[in-house]
Amino acid sequence: MEEATGQLIADNWRRIVERVAAAVQSAGRDPNEVSIVAVTKYVGVPESAALLAAGATLLGESRPQQLWEKCEAEQLTDARWHLIGHLQRNKVARTVECAELIHSVDSPRLLKAINSAAEQTGKNCHVLLEVNTSGEAEKHGLTPDALSSLLDQLNDYPQAEVRGLMTMASRSGGQSQARKNFAVLRELRDSLASEELPLSELSMGMTGDFEAGIAEGATLVRIGSALFEGLEL
């Protein structure tokens, strides 16, 4: 990878860090409450390594196979990996070995499969439950009612440790609609959380709407395309 490419990625990372900091300040929140998941689905190992060198620590992949490949790359051994995309049950075992956090658990069957795979590894797997707050049919995610039902079943899955919730905003409606979708997730968390299950993580907001996510309480924002502006992908 050319030095200029690495510098471009570093500059993009710096700008995103500054934008996130500004959004956190505008929302009157503690900067330590919000982390950036740098999404690498657009690029290969060298560009992902450039993000690490620039200061990113959490890297996210949408596709399990790409997660597995990058997880094994020598240049990326210091990365902490999140799976942010849809996960099929036949891809659970290897994903559990690689991912520090799975954002996209959208059914009891998937949670059961993750729990079984975690039992095989002898360690807990940290997950978020994905909720479809926009109501769009093409999106994955639990309905609010299904979320409540699944939370009542968590004792059946002791090694799939639920840390919080995730959502994606509507494709239309801009920042205003995104903020409404994100508010739904936060309100769900507030109504369902308990001392035993605080649901402290809220993964919401991507390149086009992360400011709205931060305003509504996001603790994780998933940013990809803005990190690679200016590159030929």
User: Is the pLDDT assigned to residue 219 strictly greater than 80?
Assistant: yes
Q: Are 9 and 50 in contact (CB under 8 A)?
A: yes
Measured CA to CA, the distance from residue 85 to residue 130 in angstroms comes to 10
Domain boundaries 3-228, corresponding CATH code: 3.20.20.10
Measured CA to CA, the distance from residue 68 to residue 40 in angstroms comes to 13
135-154 tens-digit pLDDT: 888 899 999 999 999 999 99
Q: Identify the band that residue 1 occupies on the pLDDT scale cut at 50, 70 and 90.
A: low
Copy the structure tokens of residue 149: 């039902």
Sort 91 into a burial class: Cβ within 10 Å, 0-12 / 13-18 / 19+: middle
6-19 tens-digit pLDDT: 999 999 999 999 99
Residue 75 CB contacts under 8 Å (≥ 6 apart), including other chains: 45, 46, 48, 49, 52
The residues spanned by each domain of the chain are 3-228
Helix (H, G, I), strand (E, B) or coil at 125: strand
What pLDDT score does 213 carry? 98
